[in-house]
């Protein structure tokens, strides 16, 4: 009746439901390789439809039947590709088959666990396994951190002028050499009345997370910058230890530091060790090719780093709230020690059974 | 990882141009033993994708910041004076939004790439627009594994030192009144070093790809094109316009090989009259026919069909003819 309207309706309808192109009858084909294509085209189109839906992330719209058919259809199309390469010169069909096989391959051999499954495996022992896989690197990072703190202490002890170089301050910080015992004590206790603890914690976390990501990522340059970063950070700590030691406040300072410090320093140790792990595996790849060794170390390091970020969140909460709200050295030390025992127990002592088959290749 | 060789292989001394996309082809063997051809993404498309992503991240940060500012001043309607008082309700609201802002910025900067690259498409919006995706790199044995969450996390943590670190140093130097000239030079040197890494290796790997065992390849997007020849007229080589029937002898079909056949396929699929006429004239001259004024398309379709039938028959017997030069010397 009104043709333009009908065609418009068809066009609009076509946007939403792509009507399948009519497949030609096999007898219509002029060439043998085209007959081969026409006989299998329905399977190809079905796989393409499933793959497109999965790529769009609409898993709920895929029937169980289609999901079960995916690996079978993938093998069908893959074998069609092998045959077509040997028998057909139709470049259009070959390009289509190659593309479709690749897209299906990405899905069939894609990450089998979602984010939820990955997290479950991560907390259920994967994190500890990744950490324990870097034993020597942990030892190296720990030694460097201890050495850094000692060097910081010794430098400031020999010349207090080093203090300002090791501990960058903004001028208003009372924690400088020559400060009175009372002034130093005031920085450790009596901040319960402060508001803005939440903001403080968030800012602390943001800063620490960036520094530890840096320590990990710089491992790429054969670990040297990671180690320098550790020395620099721990040098500042050593200098502050010296300062409070001079005022006879060392136990109070240690307790003040331990609340969050056991978690935070452990996190920095892990990040540094992950950096060293990458650098060491690239410098001494052993039996593997350099690129393979780097990839293996990088994947293990990435797991450790996710854990480091989580630990830093805990540390920031402890630093922002627990330390400011609890004003007693003994209670602070108890919290810090408890966290230390918890982390070591969780990461090193707790070893759940062997991972299942779906775990990441090491 | 060896370059894919096959029907497209160029023989030495042959004047056929090698395309850049051919140089970027890599063959990977799947567990089923099928050689899949991957095309490593060009540096230009990766740079373009990064620009789009950075623009999106920046927009996202701006929108979040404006939204929070609007919440603070527009919805709650906080007067400036209330902010000055210590310990008041205004200060708490400001603090809460401040925490929200810091967390949002951290997530946008660090989780944007990870979230999108862990989806089934393996691509951020920028990569999708550029037609590329992240995939697991085959190991040196040629076998290929799956792209794991660990790999995606690792490649994006490295992005921090490649991209954001110089920006951070620069901001710090400017905030503390440091030497801006030195900061600029150091920042530029830093960025140049990391930019040089994808320039000097064959697979265009950046530092993050090396550490994660990933690479960026072109995402396959081919549509199945319609059959070029079908029906009775094509089978018999008859023109529907003039009624002429084209039939070629063995010698006339032997003039060309697979490369020319696929060029002809492209010409027929494009279906532009001036190209069809030009190609028809060239083929006529080559095989010694008199170029007719009739139906160029029918002539070319017939030649294509019969040439393909001949070449494919040769394939079935294990004889391939790569191009018109093959088998002459």
| pLDDT tens profile B246-276 | 778 877 888 888 888 888 888 888 888 888 8
- In which band, very low, low, confident or very high, does the pLDDT at A251 lie, cut at 50, 70 and 90? confident
Contacts of A98 in chain B (CB under 8 A): 36-37, 220, 222
- Taking one residue from A and the other from B, the number of pairs with CB-CB distance under 8 angstroms is 220
Residue A362's pLDDT is 39
Cβ burial of B63 (10 Å; 0-12, 13-18, 19+) is exposed
To probe the interface with A, which of B220, B257, B260 has the most A CB atoms within 10 Å? B220
Rounded CA-CA distance A276/A271 in Å is 9
Q: What residue spans define the domains of chain A?
A: 10-108, 116-349
Across A329-341, b (16+ Cβ under 10 Å) vs e yields beebbebbeebbe
In this predicted complex, what is the ipTM? 0.78
Residue A361's pLDDT is 43
Distance from CA of A40 to the nearest CA of B (A): 12
Range of lowest pLDDT (A179-193, A264-278, B91-105): A179-193
Q: Which of A217-226, A275-284, B49-58, B210-219 is most confident? A: B49-58
Closest B-chain CA to A359: B148
Please give the full DSSP string across B17-28, using - where no structure is assigned: PPPHHHHTEEEE
Residue B192's pLDDT is 82
Contacts of B103 in chain A (CB under 8 A): 202
> In this structure, what token pair is assigned to residue A108?
């069939």
Residue A196's pLDDT is 61
CB contact under 8 A, B32 and A96: no
Please give the full DSSP string across A160-178, using - where no structure is assigned: TTHHHHHS---S--S-STT
CB contact under 8 A, A115 and B158: no
- Give A172-223 pLDDT, tens digit per residue: 677 777 777 777 777 777 665 555 666 777 777 777 787 788 888 888 777 8
Residue B80 has pLDDT above 60, yes or no: no
Nearest residue to A231 via CA among A194, A187, A268, A267 = A268
pTM, two decimals, is 0.76
Query: Chain centroid to CA B194: how far?
Result: 21
């Amino acid at each position: 009746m009104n043709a333009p309207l009908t065609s418009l309706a068809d066009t609009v309808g076509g946007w939403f439901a792509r009507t399948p192109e009519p497949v030609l009858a096999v007898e219509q084909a002029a060439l043998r390789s085209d007959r081969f294509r026409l006989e299998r085209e329905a399977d190809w189109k079905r796989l393409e439809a499933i793959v497109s839906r999965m790529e769009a992330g609409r898993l709920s719209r895929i029937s169980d039947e289609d999901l079960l058919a995916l690996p079978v259809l993938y093998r069908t199309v893959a074998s069609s590709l092998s045959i077509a390469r040997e028998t057909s010169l139709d470049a259009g069909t070959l390009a289509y088959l190659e593309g479709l096989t690749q897209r299906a391959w990405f899905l069939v051999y894609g990450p089998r666990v979602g984010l939820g499954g990955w997290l479950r495996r991560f907390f259920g022992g994967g994190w500890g396994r990744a950490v324990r896989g870097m034993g020597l690197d942990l030892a190296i990072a720990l030694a460097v951190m201890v050495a850094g703190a000692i060097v910081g202490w010794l430098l400031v002890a020999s010349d207090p002028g080093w203090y300002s170089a090791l501990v960058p301050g903004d001028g208003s910080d009372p924690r400088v050499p020559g400060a009175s015992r009372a002034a130093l004590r005031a920085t450790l206790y009596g901040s319960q009345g402060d508001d803005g603890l939440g903001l403080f914690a968030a800012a602390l976390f943001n800063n620490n997370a960036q520094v530890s990501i840096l320590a990990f990522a710089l491992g790429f340059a054969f670990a040297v910058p990671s180690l320098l970063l550790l020395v620099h950070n721990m040098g500042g700590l050593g200098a502050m230890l010296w300062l409070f030691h001079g005022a006879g406040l060392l136990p109070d300072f240690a307790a003040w530091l331990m609340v969050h410090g056991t978690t935070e320093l452990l996190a920095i140790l892990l990040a540094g060790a992950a950096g060293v792990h990458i650098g060491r595996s690239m410098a001494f790849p052993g039996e593997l090719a350099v690129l393979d060794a780097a990839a293996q170390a990088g994947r293990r390091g990435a797991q450790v780093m996710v854990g480091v970020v989580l630990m830093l969140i805990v540390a920031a909460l402890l630093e922002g709230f627990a330390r400011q709200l609890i004003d007693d050295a003994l209670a602070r030390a108890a919290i810090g020690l408890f966290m230390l025992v918890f982390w070591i127990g969780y990461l090193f002592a707790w070893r759940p059974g062997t991972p299942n088959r779906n775990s990441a290749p090491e | 990882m060896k370059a894919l060789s096959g029907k497209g292989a160029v023989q030495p001394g042959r004047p056929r141009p090698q395309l850049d996309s051919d140089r970027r082809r890599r063959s990977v063997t799947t567990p089923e033993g099928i050689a899949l051809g991957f095309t490593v993404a060009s540096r230009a498309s990766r740079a373009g994708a990064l620009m789009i992503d950075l623009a999106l991240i920046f927009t996202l940060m701006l929108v979040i910041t404006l939204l929070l500012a609007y919440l603070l001043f527009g919805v709650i309607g906080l007067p400036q004076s209330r902010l000055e008082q210590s310990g008041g309700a205004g200060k708490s609201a400001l603090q809460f939004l401040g925490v929200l802002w810091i967390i949002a910025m951290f997530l946008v900067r660090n989780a944007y790439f990870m979230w999108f690259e862990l989806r089934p498409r393996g691509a951020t919006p920028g990569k999708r627009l550029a037609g590329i995706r992240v995939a697991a790199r085959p190991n040196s044995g040629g076998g290929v594994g799956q792209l794991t969450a660990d790999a995606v996390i690792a490649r994006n943590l490295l992005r921090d030192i490649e991209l954001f670190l110089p920006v951070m140093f620069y901001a710090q130097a400017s905030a503390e009144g440091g030497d801006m000239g030195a900061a600029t030079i150091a920042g530029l040197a830093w960025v140049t070093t990391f930019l040089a890494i994808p320039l000097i290796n064959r697979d265009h790997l950046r530092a993050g790809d090396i550490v994660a065992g990933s690479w960026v390849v072109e995402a396959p997007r081919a549509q199945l094109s319609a059959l070029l020849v079908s029906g009775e007229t094509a089978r018999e080589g008859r023109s529907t316009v003039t009624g002429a029937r084209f039939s070629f002898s063995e010698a006339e079909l032997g003039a060309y090989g697979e490369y020319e056949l696929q060029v002809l396929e492209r010409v027929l699929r494009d279906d532009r009259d001036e190209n069809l006429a030009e190609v028809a004239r060239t083929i006529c001259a080559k095989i010694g026919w008199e170029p007719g004024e009739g139906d160029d398309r029918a002539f070319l379709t017939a030649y294509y069909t019969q040439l393909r039938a001949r070449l494919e028959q040769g394939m079935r017997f294990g004889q391939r003819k790569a191009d018109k030069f093959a088998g002459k010397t």
